[in-house]
Structure 1
């Protein structure tokens, strides 16, 4: 059994894969040695990979190294099954690389746009020959709401959960709709433009806000909330003898 740990800015995911198939995913707003101990005490794990976009708990990592026979810490020196065309590959977010690897497994031989909607929204392009050429980064829904509150004198801090009308009918709905639909329309713009260049383009939408945004996007898009986890499992196989 493979254990995949993906530590994001707001939540850590611990997932189990068996024979390449995702079995289950657990979510942890707080993640550290206690969570690792409880998980390993109740699951038989043969190999594990850890990826983070923030600062990990050193004690949690030490536990993983001690208790898992084959442990891989994913970083920019790890072997991956795609080529990197980015001019500064060492600055690429590991979650972005993992999502591209996951997309390459799902759509081999096709150009793919991977939209990962979380704290930030990333747009990453994989060409048909398996090259990750790069992508763009923009503020996510909650960041947009927070920025409007923090950089104005009177706009409130609005939660991203709630009614999202096409046109807001109150300050709260205007801000929520502006942030959410702004991201949705931005995604549609990228899809339309890149489809002119890559007519066979396949588009994945992943990340914590994937389902919320998919409901507002009229263009054809495929939601896969576990694309990063799938990519990390493939990277684990690439870097460890299991």
Structure 2
């Protein structure tokens, strides 16, 4: 695409991911707390932008700022996806889920597949062989539930969690690692195993902050892509250039 420059913005509940792209790959990926803004990035020349948000007030501010620089797309207003929808309430489908699903298509995954996002919430999305998004699973997030527990249990202090060496912890830190790292790995494995019976060719991709550790201990084949949602925004751009 030559000198084409697109800004990608994925606004999550607690973190916002930003990236520059030439329309084909990512560069200059940064993260910042949701609600903060990157004046350096906003000062750069851009030809287009793509934004997803699960925090509407913050998404509105970003949209207004970016619209002063270039034409752009928000996931709530685009009309082309790699999927059709077979859910009860399409309007309730979060833009983050659409970004993850399109990121899987960007990576070349062929349906049926699931995306598993270990972010503020733990979210599974299922796409069937017919390219239908039929829903998924929303559960507690690894770190949000961990922080909740340590804030309410007087004798449990928040410590960094690492890859557990054993199934059974031998001190408080390793007990917590077994409970949260292995516990959420088992959560993902359980859903994968049951869905695999229904869809024998099922593939999977993991993303989200805690996936950096969890993908090392799961016992089913899955790709790990830390920037899945941003890659999904690139795929959305490819499918919806006519709207710019």
How high is the TM-score relative to the length of structure 1?
A: 0.87
Structure 1 residues 192 and 30: CA distance shift in structure 2, 3 A: closer
Q: Contact 2:52/2:99 (CA < 8 Å) preserved in 1?
A: no
Q: Contact 1:158/1:175 (CA < 8 Å) preserved in 2?
A: no
More deviation, 116-125/167-176: 167-176
Question: In the alignment, which residue of structure 1 is the partner of 2:11?
Answer: 7
Question: In the alignment, which residue of structure 2 is the partner of 1:189?
Answer: 190
Q: Contact 2:50/2:74 (CA < 8 Å) preserved in 1?
A: yes
Question: In the alignment, which residue of structure 1 is the partner of 2:50?
Answer: 49
- SS class of match (1:67): coil
Question: In the alignment, which residue of structure 2 is the partner of 1:129?
Answer: 130
Unaligned runs of 5+ in 1: none
Q: Contact 1:205/1:224 (CA < 8 Å) preserved in 2?
A: yes
Q: What CA deviation, in whole Å up to 9, does each residue of 1:137-189 have, x standing for no partner?
A: 1112112223333555x442423434634312222331232011110111111
Question: In the alignment, which residue of structure 2 is the partner of 1:98?
Answer: 99
Q: Contact 2:13/2:54 (CA < 8 Å) preserved in 1?
A: yes
Unaligned runs of 5+ in 2: none
Q: Contact 1:3/1:45 (CA < 8 Å) preserved in 2?
A: yes
The CA RMSD measured in Å over matched residues stands at 2.2
More deviation, 95-104/51-60: 51-60
Q: What CA deviation, in whole Å up to 9, does each residue of 1:67-102 have, x standing for no partner?
A: 12x122321x42132111121111112111111122
Answering whether residue 193 of structure 2 is matched by residue 158 of structure 1, we say no
Q: Contact 1:110/1:201 (CA < 8 Å) preserved in 2?
A: yes
Question: In the alignment, which residue of structure 1 is the partner of 2:32?
Answer: 28
The separation in 2 between residues aligned to 1:31 and 1:143, in whole angstroms, is 18
Q: Contact 2:185/2:214 (CA < 8 Å) preserved in 1?
A: yes
- SS class of match (2:226): coil
The separation in 2 between residues aligned to 1:57 and 1:106, in whole angstroms, is 26
- SS class of match (2:68): helix
Q: What CA deviation, in whole Å up to 9, does each residue of 1:163-221 have, x standing for no partner?
A: 63431222233123201111011111122111111111111011112220011112211
Question: In the alignment, which residue of structure 2 is the partner of 1:116?
Answer: 117
Q: Contact 2:161/2:173 (CA < 8 Å) preserved in 1?
A: no
Q: What CA deviation, in whole Å up to 9, does each residue of 1:100-128 have, x standing for no partner?
A: 12213334643001101111111110112
Answering whether residue 244 of structure 2 is matched by residue 229 of structure 1, we say no
Superposition deviation, residue 130 in structure 1: 1.1
The separation in 2 between residues aligned to 1:39 and 1:83, in whole angstroms, is 34
The separation in 1 between residues aligned to 2:134 and 2:207, in whole angstroms, is 19
* Count of residues in correspondence between the two structures: 236
Question: In the alignment, which residue of structure 1 is the partner of 2:78?
Answer: 78
Structure 1 residues 163 and 71: CA distance shift in structure 2, 3 A: closer
